Structure 1
């Protein structure tokens, strides 16, 4: 009888894709897959180890499944992903309930790892570069959209970030392998593909000697049944004119750019080992909006970085007010061990960090409320994602919204849409950053 394996995948979409590849490897090796890790023989926690809150979520999930193991409901408990890679020595010591700890380099050999776990405690940490960049996937997203990872690792070395330490250097996939996977996903029903990497804008620099994201986008836009192509995690330094022209000209590319800027103070950005300042970043946002009319700009910011003064924070708050980002997330700085920023003087009090993040988000909610009101009276295209039984209406996403991080469009419809159908919705009102309307 086949061993039943289930997974809980935490953290970012990049880790989600890794988890999908792990599950496909296990299925191909003859394991039976369970949608619910709590009902499996072997429960795998594909962890995030990026910041403190994500690490805590991973630990909580491990402890919850450890309780089920103690009760005899699952037989073995395995930890993979970023937390396993980052804290390889500590996990089994601190969490003795765990039966296997595998670094990201073991992903390509996960079936043998699980078989070993069935016999005795096993840990395995091959070189990070052994992690497969592509392969079969057991999709965890609905068939109508999928993430497409175009590169792994990072060379940017931001002082607050542990990703290069966890994931290794930047490694691009070939255009051929990406296109092949994209075509298969579209044939499987994907209307939207979302390109992801730690830094998508540096795609190809290692393989082709130049920034090649624009060329890749042009190539993917030729896939016939593909409707939307979305790009996440663009680094501001590597936004080229060629990329902006491509995004403006290609109809299939949604006019949405995710640029994690992190801050606007030149002093703080320099301490983060990032380039630019308020003036240069404001100019870049203006340039993007000029080249791509009606673009949705999304960013993420960090408050409370070591040495951030009230003046630095005020500069950031004014930048947010001036630029009027359509979408924005703000997080309090997380002091991560073994990163250069963790050793900096003038660490900021937790309450101050969190309060500053709250102030930025309060201001952003007001901006988004006003932007939402501007949509009232318009007809917009919406990708249908489900039916809300409480609100008794359908919901989906517009081109302005990425899955799980942005808002929703709720709509009533006389003719029932199917999941994944693109419909036109007339917007009647905007409430709390979500839109409400009627299918045309």
Structure 2
């Protein structure tokens, strides 16, 4: 059978999709990214917040239209949306021919073959015990890949449904991660992006102590050029880990720390474990220890009870800390979370206005950082030639794929994708940098 895969949501979800693709290919089926003309389309969904649910349903309806036009055979929907709405989804979306929960990604071949026999598979394995090792069919460019070091989450933030969708925190073994990383390096990966819902907690369940630093030291022995870290929680980012980041030249001075807010009352209501004073002290320490550090964070506006004064405190913090990268989100009252049942829900229009104000503020911070790069030379990972811009495009250490900016640059000859080059920055353009290659 010809099986098409579409992955929505985060990079962690993409890794699950890549695992399913490998299983399907190993079973003898043909894997494609184009659902038109496929026997089966597998849609791996996100169901984290309202906008993600809307995107997933829109994709389901688009695939259903292909079915109606006889351009697609069956539709299998997997991931967080099905895990969250397992009792409603088949009833409300009869276009779907089968569903997989987040505990049943490895049942994808069985589900596809069941649909071919006319059955409607509904597989929901134990979300606390999943198989995270095994082959992947990597879909990112050949020079970049994700390494998911753990699944699940134990943080139980008041606004978040992830623990109920992905289960408790489960570290993968060092041996399995290093074996997978070695294969990625052998396949030509030059930028390894270490991911999990919370990478700082790595090893606490399996080895009964934080082991991220030890894992990173081993990963840096492999022939990667860049190692990038995503989602380090502030309360777990200790001096030992900072020492490793500072001491390993392959680890980029780019850290993604989801802070969510800065006001102490709001942080406590969110069930976050850090205070404003602790966050400010940590960011100061990181700036001192890691020259040229670029910070990325996520912030939520409009948590129930958030006052104008508390929002202004968040604005002041962003002005003073000058965090270079920030994703700003409007609070989404997700059923089943403590925050959804909190009193004093903020009017959605007010929350939206706060998001817009913070986005505008953050754009000025980012523009200031970009302008301060003028005249500097940055190492850039070339991602190819952009015909629309008429020049080459890539990313610096300050830019993670799909979430940050780009560096557009001219060169006297051909620069193959996956090549590292030095680019002198000569300008800025809508949040991106422009420059010319230094021969």
Q: What's the TM-score bracket when you normalise by the shorter of the two chains?
A: over 0.9
What residue number does 1:177 align with? 176
Give 1:316's aligned residue: 314
Alpha-carbon contact 1:159-1:273 (below 8 Å) kept: yes
Q: Distance in 1 between matches of 2:241 and 2:36?
A: 45
Offset at residue 277 of structure 1 (A): 2.8
Matches within 5 A, 1:253-332: 253-332=251-330
Structure 1 residue aligned with 2:417: 419
Identify the residue that residue 4 of structure 1 maps to in structure 2.
2
The separation in 1 between residues aligned to 2:213 and 2:119, in whole angstroms, is 49
Report the alpha carbon displacement of residue 131 of structure 1 after superposing the two structures with TM: 2.5
Query: Structure 1: how far apart are the matches of 2:153 and 2:145?
Result: 22
Question: Is the 8 Å Cα contact of residues 106 and 130 (structure 1) preserved in structure 2?
Answer: no
Answer whether contact 2:6 2:33 (CA < 8 A) is retained.
no
* 2:379 matched residue in structure 1: 381
CA shift, 1:39, in A, is 3.0
User: Aligned to 1:358, what secondary structure does the other structure show?
Assistant: helix
Offset from partner CA, 1:269-289 (integer Å, 9 cap, x none): 100001233222111110111
**Residues in 2 aligned to 1:30 and 1:203: alpha-carbon distance in whole angstroms:** 35
Q: 1:104 aligns with which of 95, 102, 108?
A: 102
1:431 Cα deviation from its structure 2 partner: 2.1
Unaligned runs of 5+ in 1: none
Instruction: Say whether 1:44 aligns with 2:42.
Output: yes
> Which residue number corresponds to residue 69 of structure 1?
67
Distance in 1 between the 2:277 and 2:238 partners?
A: 18
For 2:48, what is the secondary structure of its paired residue?
coil
- Mind listing any 5+ residue stretches in structure 2 that lack a counterpart? none
Equivalence for 2:32 = 34
CA contact (8 A) 1:278 1:319 kept: no
SS of 1:226 mapped into structure 2: coil
Partner Cα distance (1:280, 1:238) in 2:
12
SS in 1 for 2:380: strand
> For the residues of structure 2 that align with 1:422 and 1:293, how far apart are their CA atoms?
21
1:397-436 → structure 2 map (5 Å cutoff): 397-436=395-434
Residues 135-146 of structure 1 mapped to structure 2, 5 A cutoff: 135-146=134-145
Deviation at 1:133, TM superposition (A): 1.0
Change (3 A) 1:275 1:246: same
Residue 88 of structure 2: aligned partner: 90
| 1:80 paired to 2:78 | yes
What is the aligned residue count? 437
1:76-116 residue CA offsets vs partner (Å, 9 max, x unmatched): 01100111111111110110010001112211121111100
Q: TM (normalized to structure 2)?
A: 0.98
Q: Which stretches of structure 1, 4 residues or more, deviate above 6 A after TM superposition?
A: none
> In the alignment, is residue 163 of structure 1 matched against residue 162 of structure 2?
yes
In 2, distance between residues paired with 1:335 and 1:327? 25
Q: Shift of residue 120 of structure 1?
A: 2.0
Deviation for aligned residue 1:46: 0.2
1:336 aligned onto 2:322:
no
Q: TM-score, normalising length from structure 1?
A: 0.98
Q: Distance in 2 between matches of 1:37 and 1:70?
A: 13
Match of 1:207, SS state, is coil
Instruction: For residue 393 of structure 2, give the secondary structure of its aligned residue in structure 1.
Output: strand
How do 1:169-248 and structure 2 match up within 5 A?
169-223=168-222, 225-248=223-246
For the pair 1:148 / 2:150, whether they are aligned, the reply is no
- The answer to whether the 8 A contact 1:6-1:39 is kept is no
Q: Indicate the SS of the match to 2:89.
A: helix
Secondary structure (helix, strand or coil) at the match of 2:104 reads helix
Q: CA deviation at 1:192?
A: 0.4
Work out the CA distance in 1 between the residues paired with 2:433 and 2:67. 44
Deviates more, 1:346-355 or 1:17-26: 346-355
